[in-house]
Amino acid sequence: MSGSGRLMISLALFASLLVCVNAHFNYKEALTKSIIFLEAQRSGKLPPHPRPPWRGDSALQDGKTVGVDLVGGYYDAGDNVKYGLPMAFTVTTLAWAAYFYKAELTSAGEMKNVLDGIKWGTDYFLKASTGNNRLFVQVGDPVSDHECWMRPENMKSSRKVLEINQNCPGTEIAAETAAALAASSIVFRDVDKTYSRNLLHSAKKLFQFANEHRGTYNGECPFYCSYSGYHDELLWGATWLYIATRRPIYLKYIQDESTTAIVSEFSWDLKFAGAQILLSQLYWEGQKEFQTFQRQADGYICQVFPESPYHQAFITPGGLLHFRDGANAQYVTSTAFLFSVYSDLLARHRMQVTCGDKHFTSVQLMAFAKRQMDYLLGDNPIKRSMMVGFGNNPPLQAHHRGASVPVMAPTEDVNCGMSFVYWYNTNKPNPNELTGAILGGPDKQDRFIDSRTNSSYTEPCTYVNSVAIGVLAKLAK
């Protein structure tokens, strides 16, 4: 190759590097819009003047068939079913963001909106867990729901209710809901002490139920099957309860009874890494009995960080983490959040992560977290944002009933068969902007198809955004 050819290639690589290093976005705008998406997922009686102006009241009779008020909560994604496991994980991680990044969220002017979002979920969980050893875990029938492409305000599909109890246990869902309530109790302690105590009381009861009546509940399959078992949720729940109470009963469970493992994923199904990072914070604050968990947190970093000799996570040619096709963005935002939190802990305690013969600093971890978020916001090979209503060339066809169906009178009756003709199988932008939704995202080759019929690319989920809020708050400083 000629010298001029080598020079041109070098300049091109340098220019590409500059784009990566200098990529900058309005993170405060992204933060605000991420929260607005969660508001678009609310079920029940909405407050006046919702920020997504096309949303209205929905599912106001939920729970009536079983004599319980189950109005409220969140729809998980682009459909109109309320699933307990992902909803609880959404609330737990949102509360973690409020707990760890309180100063950053307050500075950004978003703390009240985050607290409102948490409370929308915890109010529902309190109603769903009024009895002993009983928790209502799902409202809606996914089969009938998927037979009709209709906004929640006009849906006519079944609102059947599923529950777990001592005869039909569901340790994962009970323990995750306990985690959500315990984490939220910490956040509300200085805001509303009575409400905080109520949350903590329910969290304790649910954890006891989860631990004493063990069993995996598959009622939410095939959409939210527990592939990882329930030991991670028990450790996760016990960790949040210990942070909230400092009671020996939860310390004993963590030390003597829990199961733990080094993993490379943090998600609605797998919580080990989250618990390990929480316990690492306590370890560095003086509780040396948590050293094993701190080492496992390092192990998580080593399995994910691309420069580690032990890394296992796949990185696309454009630099995006890719775990699975279908809502892969959830793993991107959850990884970015954990790396952001761990980076702050390393900096606070002047520590590094050691992976074999390599050492990584807090700055390197945060740079990786930022790189992942920047990719989703538009610094990627196709130069387009994965967040609706944000950045360059954002998606227009989110796989989402409420966003893709025009606003109509609540009493209007729609033929379910024709609903797919009118609003699903059309190559038109959604009439309602699903502001702030981070969609499923590109495939392993950085390809993205903006089509609502390709749900693996375009479906949003609450738990994609909930774990993005903390890291966006940090970046917005």
pTM for this predicted structure:
0.94
Mean pLDDT of 77-106: 98
* pLDDT for res 23: 58
Q: Give the active site residue among 104, 232, 374, 459.
A: 459
* pLDDT for res 24: 81
pLDDT per position as a tens digit, 412-465: 988 999 999 999 999 999 999 999 999 999 999 999 999 999 999 999 999 999
Q: Lowest-confidence range among 39-43, 278-282, 380-384, 412-416? A: 412-416
Mean pLDDT of 55-76: 97
Mean pLDDT of 176-188: 98
Give the Å distances, CA to CA, from 401 to 75, 86, 225, 378.
11, 19, 23, 25
* pLDDT for res 1: 42
Which residue, 402, 456, 449, 457, is CA-closest to 427? 449
* Residue 115 amino acid letter: L
Contact 441, 433 (CB under 8 A): no
Active site residue 57: no
445 CB neighbour count, 10 Å cutoff:
11
Active site residue 172: no
Q: Give the active site residue among 172, 176, 232, 450.
A: 450
Mean pLDDT of 61-70: 97
Q: Give the active site residue among 39, 62, 79, 172.
A: 79
* pLDDT for res 221: 86
Q: What is the DSSP string of 418-454?
A: HHIIIIIS--S--SS--TT-B-----TTS-----TT-
Active site residue 450: yes
Q: Give the active site residue among 231, 322, 399, 400.
A: 399
- pLDDT band for position 410 (cuts 50, 70, 90): confident
* pLDDT for res 22: 42
Which residue, 173, 295, 179, 297, is CA-closest to 236? 179
Give percent above pLDDT 70 in the chain.
Answer: 95
